[in-house]
Chains A and B, each alone.
Chain A
Amino acid sequence: MDIPAMRASFAKAAAAGDEAPLYFYSHLFLSHPETRRLFPVSMAHQRDRLFQALGDVVAYVDDLDRLVPILQALGRDHRKFGTVAEHYPAVGASLIATLRHFDDEWDAALEQSWTTAYGLVAQVMVEAAEEASGQPPWWDAEVVGHERRTIDTAVLWLRPEPEFPYEAGQSVSLETDVRPKLWRYYSPANAPRPDGLVEIHVRAYDGGPVGAALVRRVGKGDVLHLGPPVGHIAFDAESDRDLLLVAGGTGLAPLKAVVDHVARIGPPRRVDLFVGSRTEERIYDRADLERLAEEHAWLTVTFAVSADDLSPLEQGDVGEVVVRHGPWSSRDVYVAGPAAMVQDTTTRLVQAGVRPERIRSEVFAPSRLGPSLDGEVTE
């Protein structure tokens, strides 16, 4: 394999922008029409993701220690899309046809390099997928409860079938038949329960196809699909330090799961949860959080509003309010919410003397396609 030559030819295709993935998918669907059903109607985002994923592969191709785990995760995750081993050669042929199309200096040696490289990539992914065949490619999850809490937020309770193993703080990709082939990541808002129910908080961002469908169209009795859980906020269940949790918007979900984990599994420790919102009426899970605070002496819940002068709650950005209640230097800190809120809160906490390595954060934004590298789509 001539890696520099491969990188050069990939750069030529990448320089063609959207043209290259457009050519690739058209070529793939014409030569293998049966692959079309694995993809959503609109391919616009799909195209970006393909070249981003391929770019990762090309970038790390000489760093196998790093590349192989990414590919294995990809291979496992692709099972939920309905990808099977037979699809891999089809994709490889179209990929090489695309690279050839956009490269004036394509030659047999380059084709050989790419064929070999793709063969290895496919092999790693297929093997990882086969190793994971002990668990289902996806889980059917019936909606057993659906509550509209505000104009654009809903809380859903799902019952996955068969048992869905996950840990507090992880993310789960989710698809609804109303929006086929569009997978979005959400965080369960509870630790695993004996009855297997999973609580999900969904915010419908304006124009967002999946969130809006989950909030407004999906109801009790509908069945969603869950992909395998992926670790993300990296909740350190082993630590017994007291906790400071700071949530904005539906970033509350993984933090509520952490509270639930402490309640169910322990170890016992003080937990302070701050929930920030623009206005009081947007605090969508207040009643349940107040119930938890009442049930557990170790839990304190504080609500803060940033644009609601009339509210009797704490006033100010949640980061500001948190620091006002400090010091927090002995705590493990978890921050989850919109990017600006996460940024602002971590900055203030670091300024207030919290060690940066004790702060873990997760950004909740529209279209959480996937947590960075893993979960990305390569086809």
Chain B
Amino acid sequence: MSIQPHQPERVERRMSPRDVRSVQLPRATMLRPGYNDVEVDRFLDRVADELARLHADKAELRDQVRALQEEVAGAPVPEAPSDQAVRILATAQQTADSYVAEAEDFSRQMTADARAQYEEQVRRARENAGAIIQAAQEAAARMTAGERPATVDAPPRSTQELEEQVAYLKAFGQACRTQLRAYLEALLVDVETEWGRAHPGALPPSAPRGIPAGSSRAPAPNVALEAPRDDNGGGDEGAGSGQQSGVGRSVR
């Protein structure tokens, strides 16, 4: 009943203890009409008390509901998943995990194999290159070393001799270059006279064949290897070997 004072305002449209207390029952007649006032008042008091008790209970229950609602909101566990559901999800997750793991493993093997192959190829290529370089170096060594027996009786060549040879080779190279230039110029002149004013770049590959071979036969091919091939057409390769023998001889 201590709660009573702050209840009334909140339940305006419903009968409050105060409503009952303040009710005024009309009287039927002027002499001794209706109920006994004292009894009626006592009854009304009891009704009021009962209502007050009900309101108090209700308020208490409402507070409890509110507290519980707050608790539920604070820890939102609507309902714990059943063990069966957990097991099903766990199995599904494990299956997914194993697929991912398999895919990763597959990719690991593939890339590892690819890498191994790649590295093997690179290694072989480098080995080949190394072998070729080494063979070339050995050949060079053999060429210089192998020539010695031919002059084994002669005293070791002096620096002066070597210098002379170098000078000779340089001069030879220069001569070759000069002759090639002369040959090319002659060729161009011939082309212009024989084939009209055709642009040299438009020459058919067979053009050089039309040149009389005698004019510059030996030296021209010598330098052919230094000059871009396409300038000279196909005819010079055969003579190229002549260059090597020539150089070989001059070294000796």
Contact = CB atoms under 8 A, between A and B. Distances in A.
A151 B109 CA distance: 16
A206 interface: yes
B90 A22 contact: yes
Most B CB within 10 A of own CB, among A42, A93, A97: A42
Contact of A151 (B90, B104, B115): B115
Interface string B73-94: 0111110110101110110011
A25 B93 contact: yes
A25 B86 CA distance: 9
Interface string B101-125: 1001101110110010011001000
Contacts of B86: 23, 26-27, 30
B100 A206 contact: no
A44 B97 contact: yes
Nearest to B104: A207
B126 interface: yes
A242 B21 CA distance: 98
Given A22-B93, A89-B75, A206-B115, A30 B107 contact: no
Interface string A127-164: 00000000000000000000000011000000000000
Contacts of B118: 151
A41 interface: yes
Nearest to A204: B111
Contact of A281 (B96, B101, B108, B122): B122
Nearest to B127: A310
Nearest to B83: A101
Contact of B75 (A30, A93, A101): A93
Given A41-B96, A206-B111, A207-B111, A31 B78 contact: yes
A207 B105 contact: yes
Nearest to B111: A206
Contacts of B96: 41-43
A90 B107 CA distance: 36
B136 to A, nearest CB: 15
A353 interface: no
B90 A209 contact: no
A292 interface: no
B34 interface: no
Nearest to B88: A26
B235 interface: no
B130 interface: yes
B86 to A, nearest CB: 4
Contacts, number: 73
Contacts of A212: 107, 111
Contacts of B115: 151-152, 206
A81 interface: no
Contact of A310 (B97, B104, B130): B130
Contacts of A166: none
Interface string A12-32: 000000000011011101110
Contacts of B104: 207, 209
Interface in B51-80: 74-78, 80
Given A93-B75, A151-B115, A152-B115, A30 B122 contact: no
Contact of A206 (B85, B112, B119): B112
Interface string A262-290: 00000000000000000101000000000
B101 A44 contact: yes
A189 to B, nearest CB: 24
A310 B101 CA distance: 39
Contacts of A207: 104-105, 107-109, 111-112
A212 B111 CA distance: 10
Contacts of A44: 97, 100-101
Given A22-B93, A30-B85, A30-B86, A93 B122 contact: no
Interface in A207-236: 207, 209, 212
A96 to B, nearest CB: 10
A182 to B, nearest CB: 11
Interface in A66-124: 89-90, 93, 97, 101
Which of B87, B108, B109 has the most chain A CB within a 10 Å cutoff? B108
Given A22-B93, A42-B100, A44-B100, A30 B108 contact: no
Contacts of B89: 26, 29-30
Contacts of A42: 96-97, 100-101
A234 B146 CA distance: 64
A31 B111 contact: no
Contacts of B107: 206-207, 212
Given A22-B94, A27-B86, A30-B86, A97 B111 contact: no
Interface in B193-210: none
Most chain A beta-carbon contacts within 10 A, residue among B81, B90, B107, B111: B90
Contact of A31 (B81, B90, B127, B130): B81
Given A27-B80, A206-B112, 6 more contacts: A25-B90, A30-B85, A31-B78, A97-B80, A207-B105, A279-B122
The 5 tightest CB contacts between A and B, nearest first, are: A207-B108, A30-B81, A42-B100, A26-B89, A206-B111
26 contacts: A22-B94, A23-B90, A25-B90, A25-B93, A26-B81, A26-B85, A30-B81, A30-B86, A30-B89, A41-B96, A42-B96, A42-B97, A43-B96, A44-B100, A89-B76, A90-B76, A93-B77, A97-B80, A152-B111, A206-B107, A207-B109, A207-B111, A207-B112, A281-B122, A310-B127, A310-B130
